[in-house]
Chain A
Amino acid sequence: MSVAQSPPPRLQMRGITKRFPGVIANDKIDLDVKAGEIHALLGENGAGKTTLMNVLFGLARPDEGEILIDGNPVQIADPADAIARGIGMVHQHFMLIPVLTVAENILLGAETMANPIFLDRSEARRRIIELGKRFGFELDPDAKVETLSVGWQQRVEILKALYRQARILVLDEPTATLTPQETVEVFAVIRRLAAEGHSIIFISHKLYEVLEIADRITVIRRGQVVGSRLPSETNEDDLAALMVGRQVKLAVDRGTSHPAEPVLTVENLKVKSDRGQEVVRGVNFSVRAGEILGIAGVAGNGQDELVEAITGLRRSTEGVVRLAGEDITGWTVRQRREHGLGYVPGDRQKYGLVLGFPISDNLVLTQYYKSPFARGIQKQDAAIEQWAQRTIEEFDIRTPSWAVPAGTLSGGNQQKVIVAREFSRDLKALVLDQPTRGLDVGSIEFIHKQAIGKRDAGTGILLVSAELDEILELSDRIAVMYRGEIVAVVDGRTANKEEIGLLMATGGRAPAKESPTGTSSQPGADPDTIRGGTS
């Protein structure tokens, strides 16, 4: 054997093929990641990224192909195997137990024992602090996870992998729930990890982030690798075209808006959360016909409760909601809908659809009792089918038939069903809550276009989104929500991203040193309660 010029890549996946009934999720995928490299994996939902990572982490068996670590072929049967071989996974949805401390969470499944019965807590604590120091973030091992912000919880996840001596780290959409500032901090951590020789697989659909952090970018489409790029030789448009397979317009042309009279007005609105805490604390704003008002804010600052109070899903404790001048505060959901309020809910599977029902029934879920869909109490299936067929065509919902259950559709098409249902009637005001969460570029483009169209038709739109880019792209005005209050309203066309990010994170005040109260109503929502400290 001759000595190779350069060491083999840390990780090589060769010809990975994974078939599911009816689809090939991974079709001969090759991927290699060097030591110290940040390798971005880019692709639309359903392109096969998750399957590939599941294969790597032992959650799925490939039908063909092999995995090599440091040049040696390995068999990964289950996650325990993967961890033993130095593979660590940080999921998009954290796998942490909120009521346990940082140290306890890290120790779960990788207990450091003093003897066969008792944990060696002090040794564990020492190692956690040491690891944190090495990578530039010091965490208090005794802080309860529920008191940490989302950004810090993510660092706990990373630490968890490092504690298990991971050398290959998979980060699945690590910035999805972070503010721009937190993203910058997490990027610093990721760079430091790479500098220490760790290999990072960075999964994302945010093109500019990938361009910023990756050393190399591999794009997957329909289970195949369609291209590999260096950030220096590509740009967002090129990557988007690779991902989708056609040229996409990333930013919709929002044109000019012509705001008229206020259609949706909220006056001194106060709403309590399920836990009885006041999470909307005297909010005032008004959406005018023909404009889009965006509400920016880190998730958990009262946006959900605000939207629910406006749409009638939750009672407000104080204040008034007006729709086209009428006080609708005490109205039922149906009364509000009949009066011209549309609503695309944030959680499409929980609120928006009955997954087991056919698409046709979902398309009339809010209007099934009205003519022509019903005569008396008799459902008129022929009319429903006819309308469904027309709507499916009009909104380009990709489905073999109106009769298939909504649950069998892709996320983008599920959202299109909801959008079709809400947009296809005359509305005075429309609430869009996270309208494109988790969707692919093509579907986002479609939904944004529809929203602009509805705005131009004279509907007042309230857009709530955790994606600051979406807010910036669509809104005519932007209101920033922080801890249940609107802390600023700015012009959407001149708004500065960093400025809004800062407002989202601090509410425009200097960050406090200590948490003001012992218990936070929105764990993770306020960065002030970080006990770890950045030093």
Chain B
Amino acid sequence: MKARLRSYAGLMLVPALSILLALLVASVLIIASGLVGTEKKVNLLLPLIAYRSLIVGAFGNFKGIANMVVAAAPLMLTGLAVGVGLKAGLFNIGATGQVLSGGLAAALIGMQVADAPVLIAIPVAMLGGMLAGALAGFIPGFLKAFTGAHEVVTTIMLNALIQLIVSGLVNDVFRAPGFSFARTAPVGSAELTGLGNTTLHLGVIFALVCIPLSYWLLWRTTVGFEIRAVGANPTAAFYAGMKPRRMMILTMSLCGAFAGLAGAIEVLRLGYYPAVFGTGIGFDGITVALLGQSNPIGIMLSALLLGAMRAGAPLMQIQARVPVEIIDVIQGIILIFLAAEIVVRKIFRLRTAGVGAGELQTITRTYGEKVVG
């Protein structure tokens, strides 16, 4: 038990330090932002004011907490879409495209069940979103397994392709009449409306359920054992009688399903598919997964952190007059420090990670490797 706790502490060390470093670096930028603001003066305390209002904005009242959870829910799912892939040795950059497919499918199915009872409409639309996302994940998985085409390349290309197809469909085929901008018809009873006077909605529960579910899948089942074995050593997995190709396809489809669900939640929350549905949740999934070390619990915590920043940002802008975009900057810097783990370890004089360390290996290693099985 003690050893287990220590290993969790070890896992969290670099992410925690990366966040700390990112906040420090961002402080400089926040101070600098004072120079271009209306007051044009250097205020060394500005970062503290900004971070304080960020925290108050997210945790100050129940509304803030609700906003945080609502922002975190889709990030948990895209985090899983990237993180579970990393466990299988796959770097899924395609969450963006998978989110779009899932979102559109949920909107279209939602339109069809707009008059059905809520308890049928919502699950059906979400399931449709998951399946569409799974299909978008299946394609690169299949290509990798049977042609060796690297998933980083194929998912990036699919992102662009899906984006264009989806926007074509929304602007033309499925455009709802009577609106001044391109959008689909309302999803009616499939819409995820806020509970009470908060933004909290049913979709959050779906996201929260996926966390223990994927933890169970990865660590407590034979399927998860195969996913992790294929990710850690595909040749050994093949030797042991597993089917690495099949696992790649399965895992990519599963990742796509998570991202598709995220897209469905976001679209159903809105109630329709808008002309521009280019949220960054797909790419944010990469940050979430790396920050969470591909561990479902870690992914949940990371998503909550990013969600808190999103939820607190408006208050920060009002109170500290720091632009909300600083959140994206902080997120970007966190990602840089995570990617440059060695730098973080050097700064804090930590020992370098031992055997089998990590997800970043997947990202740097798999390129050009022969697919076995």
Question: Could you list which residues of chain A lie within 8 angstroms of chain B, going by C-beta atoms?
Answer: 21, 311, 313, 332-334, 337, 343, 345, 350-357, 361, 365-366, 368-369, 374, 377-379, 381, 403, 405, 407-408
The contact of A333 among B225, B229, B241, by CB within 8 Å, is B241
The contact of A353 among B225, B228, B236, by CB within 8 Å, is B236
Distance in angstroms between the alpha carbons of A334 and B241 in the assembled complex? 4
- CB-CB under 8 A for A350 and B220, given A365-B240, A366-B241, A407-B355: no
Chain A residues whose C-beta falls within 8 Å of the C-beta of B235 in the assembled complex: 350-351
Chain A residues whose C-beta falls within 8 Å of the C-beta of B236 in the assembled complex: 350-354, 365
Q: Is the CB of B229 within 8 A of A379?
A: no
**Cβ of B3 under 8 Å from chain A:** yes
Q: Is the CB of A313 within 8 A of B232?
A: no
Additional A-B contact list (17), CB under 8 Å, known A379-B219, A381-B220: A21-B351, A334-B241, A343-B239, A350-B235, A352-B236, A352-B239, A354-B229, A354-B232, A354-B237, A355-B356, A356-B356, A365-B229, A365-B236, A369-B222, A374-B222, A379-B220, A408-B355
**Cβ of B223 under 8 Å from chain A:** yes
CB 8 Å contact bits of B241-259 with A (1 = contact, 0 = none) = 1110000000000000000
CB 8 Å contact bits of B329-373 with A (1 = contact, 0 = none) = 000000000000000000000010011100000000000000010
- CB-CB under 8 A for A354 and B233, given A333-B241, A407-B356: yes
Chain A residues whose C-beta falls within 8 Å of the C-beta of B224 in the assembled complex: 379
Q: Which of B1-55 contact A (CB under 8 A)?
A: 3
A-B contact pairs, 7 of them (CB 8 A): A21-B351, A311-B239, A313-B372, A355-B355, A378-B222, A379-B219, A379-B221
Distance in angstroms between the alpha carbons of A522 and B151 in the assembled complex? 32
Q: Is the CB of A332 within 8 A of B241?
A: yes
Q: Is the CB of B239 within 8 A of A361?
A: no
Chain B residues whose C-beta falls within 8 Å of the C-beta of A351 in the assembled complex: 235-236, 239
Distance in angstroms between the alpha carbons of A381 and B242 in the assembled complex? 19
The minimal Cβ–Cβ distance linking A343 to chain B, given in whole angstroms, is: 7
Q: Which of B133-170 contact A (CB under 8 A)?
A: none
The contact of A350 among B233, B240, B241, B354, by CB within 8 Å, is B233
Chain B residues whose C-beta falls within 8 Å of the C-beta of A357 in the assembled complex: 228-229, 232, 356
Question: Could you list which residues of chain B lie within 8 angstroms of chain A, going by C-beta atoms?
Answer: 3, 219-225, 228-229, 232-233, 235-243, 351, 354-356, 372
The minimal Cβ–Cβ distance linking A23 to chain B, given in whole angstroms, is: 14
The minimal Cβ–Cβ distance linking B113 to chain A, given in whole angstroms, is: 32
Distance in angstroms between the alpha carbons of A530 and B299 in the assembled complex? 58
Q: Is the CB of B233 within 8 A of A405?
A: no
Across chains A and B, the number of contacting residue pairs, with CB separation under 8 Å, is 75
The minimal Cβ–Cβ distance linking A433 to chain B, given in whole angstroms, is: 11
Candidate in A354, A365, A366, A368 with the most chain B CB atoms within 10 angstroms? A354
Distance in angstroms between the alpha carbons of A173 and B355 in the assembled complex? 26
Distance in angstroms between the alpha carbons of A111 and B244 in the assembled complex? 46
Distance in angstroms between the alpha carbons of A369 and B242 in the assembled complex? 10
Chain A residues whose C-beta falls within 8 Å of the C-beta of B356 in the assembled complex: 355-357, 405, 407
Chain A residues whose C-beta falls within 8 Å of the C-beta of B3 in the assembled complex: 403
The contact of B222 among A21, A368, A405, by CB within 8 Å, is A368
Q: Is the CB of B222 within 8 A of A377?
A: yes
Chain B residues whose C-beta falls within 8 Å of the C-beta of A377 in the assembled complex: 221-223
Distance in angstroms between the alpha carbons of A350 and B240 in the assembled complex? 12
The minimal Cβ–Cβ distance linking A208 to chain B, given in whole angstroms, is: 34
Chain A residues whose C-beta falls within 8 Å of the C-beta of B219 in the assembled complex: 379
Distance in angstroms between the alpha carbons of A379 and B224 in the assembled complex? 9
- Please name the residue on chain A nearest to B372 by beta carbon: A313
The minimal Cβ–Cβ distance linking B202 to chain A, given in whole angstroms, is: 28
Chain B residues whose C-beta falls within 8 Å of the C-beta of A350 in the assembled complex: 233, 235-236
- Please name the residue on chain A nearest to B219 by beta carbon: A379
Chain B residues whose C-beta falls within 8 Å of the C-beta of A334 in the assembled complex: 241-242
7 residue pairs, one from A and one from B, having the closest CB atoms: A356-B356, A334-B241, A407-B355, A351-B239, A365-B240, A333-B241, A354-B233
Chain B residues whose C-beta falls within 8 Å of the C-beta of A361 in the assembled complex: 225
Q: Is the CB of B232 within 8 A of A356?
A: yes
- CB-CB under 8 A for A313 and B239, given A350-B233, A407-B355: yes
Chain A residues whose C-beta falls within 8 Å of the C-beta of B221 in the assembled complex: 377-379
Chain B residues whose C-beta falls within 8 Å of the C-beta of A374 in the assembled complex: 222
- Please name the residue on chain B nearest to A421 by beta carbon: B240
Chain B residues whose C-beta falls within 8 Å of the C-beta of A345 in the assembled complex: 239
The minimal Cβ–Cβ distance linking A338 to chain B, given in whole angstroms, is: 8
Chain A residues whose C-beta falls within 8 Å of the C-beta of B220 in the assembled complex: 378-379, 381
- Please name the residue on chain A nearest to B217 by beta carbon: A377
The minimal Cβ–Cβ distance linking B219 to chain A, given in whole angstroms, is: 8
Distance in angstroms between the alpha carbons of A102 and B194 in the assembled complex? 75
Distance in angstroms between the alpha carbons of A313 and B225 in the assembled complex? 20
Chain B residues whose C-beta falls within 8 Å of the C-beta of A337 in the assembled complex: 241
Chain A residues whose C-beta falls within 8 Å of the C-beta of B228 in the assembled complex: 357
Distance in angstroms between the alpha carbons of A57 and B236 in the assembled complex? 35
Distance in angstroms between the alpha carbons of A435 and B222 in the assembled complex? 29
Candidate in B223, B225, B228, B240 with the most chain A CB atoms within 10 angstroms? B240
Q: Is the CB of A333 within 8 A of B233?
A: no
Q: Is the CB of A356 within 8 A of B239?
A: no
Q: Is the CB of A313 within 8 A of B222?
A: no
Distance in angstroms between the alpha carbons of A332 and B240 in the assembled complex? 11
Candidate in B3, B224, B241, B351 with the most chain A CB atoms within 10 angstroms? B241
Q: Is the CB of B355 within 8 A of A356?
A: yes
Chain B residues whose C-beta falls within 8 Å of the C-beta of A332 in the assembled complex: 241, 243
Chain B residues whose C-beta falls within 8 Å of the C-beta of A368 in the assembled complex: 222, 225
The minimal Cβ–Cβ distance linking B231 to chain A, given in whole angstroms, is: 9
Chain A residues whose C-beta falls within 8 Å of the C-beta of B232 in the assembled complex: 354-357
The minimal Cβ–Cβ distance linking B281 to chain A, given in whole angstroms, is: 30
The minimal Cβ–Cβ distance linking B339 to chain A, given in whole angstroms, is: 20
Q: Is the CB of A353 within 8 A of B354?
A: no
- CB-CB under 8 A for A313 and B233, given A368-B225, A407-B355: no
Distance in angstroms between the alpha carbons of A311 and B238 in the assembled complex? 11
Chain B residues whose C-beta falls within 8 Å of the C-beta of A333 in the assembled complex: 238-241
The minimal Cβ–Cβ distance linking A373 to chain B, given in whole angstroms, is: 8
Distance in angstroms between the alpha carbons of A117 and B221 in the assembled complex? 63
Chain B residues whose C-beta falls within 8 Å of the C-beta of A352 in the assembled complex: 236, 239
Distance in angstroms between the alpha carbons of A333 and B225 in the assembled complex? 18
Chain A residues whose C-beta falls within 8 Å of the C-beta of B225 in the assembled complex: 361, 368, 379
- Please name the residue on chain B nearest to A375 by beta carbon: B222
Chain B residues whose C-beta falls within 8 Å of the C-beta of A365 in the assembled complex: 229, 236, 240
Distance in angstroms between the alpha carbons of A84 and B240 in the assembled complex? 49
The contact of A366 among B222, B240, B351, B355, by CB within 8 Å, is B240
- Please name the residue on chain B nearest to A369 by beta carbon: B222
The minimal Cβ–Cβ distance linking B53 to chain A, given in whole angstroms, is: 42
Distance in angstroms between the alpha carbons of A403 and B3 in the assembled complex? 10
Chain B residues whose C-beta falls within 8 Å of the C-beta of A403 in the assembled complex: 3
- CB-CB under 8 A for A353 and B355, given A345-B239, A366-B241: no
Distance in angstroms between the alpha carbons of A155 and B138 in the assembled complex? 52
- CB-CB under 8 A for A379 and B222, given A313-B239, A333-B239, A353-B233: yes
Distance in angstroms between the alpha carbons of A476 and B223 in the assembled complex? 42
- Please name the residue on chain A nearest to B239 by beta carbon: A351
Chain B residues whose C-beta falls within 8 Å of the C-beta of A369 in the assembled complex: 222
The minimal Cβ–Cβ distance linking A350 to chain B, given in whole angstroms, is: 5
Candidate in B222, B243, B351, B354 with the most chain A CB atoms within 10 angstroms? B222
The minimal Cβ–Cβ distance linking A410 to chain B, given in whole angstroms, is: 13
Distance in angstroms between the alpha carbons of A508 and B240 in the assembled complex? 37
The minimal Cβ–Cβ distance linking B228 to chain A, given in whole angstroms, is: 8
- Please name the residue on chain B nearest to A338 by beta carbon: B241
Chain A residues whose C-beta falls within 8 Å of the C-beta of B223 in the assembled complex: 377
Distance in angstroms between the alpha carbons of A323 and B229 in the assembled complex? 28
Distance in angstroms between the alpha carbons of A357 and B224 in the assembled complex? 13
- Please name the residue on chain B nearest to A381 by beta carbon: B220
The contact of B233 among A21, A355, A378, by CB within 8 Å, is A355
The minimal Cβ–Cβ distance linking A464 to chain B, given in whole angstroms, is: 15
- Please name the residue on chain A nearest to B370 by beta carbon: A274
Chain A residues whose C-beta falls within 8 Å of the C-beta of B241 in the assembled complex: 332-334, 337, 366
The minimal Cβ–Cβ distance linking A143 to chain B, given in whole angstroms, is: 30
Distance in angstroms between the alpha carbons of A333 and B237 in the assembled complex? 11
The minimal Cβ–Cβ distance linking B43 to chain A, given in whole angstroms, is: 46
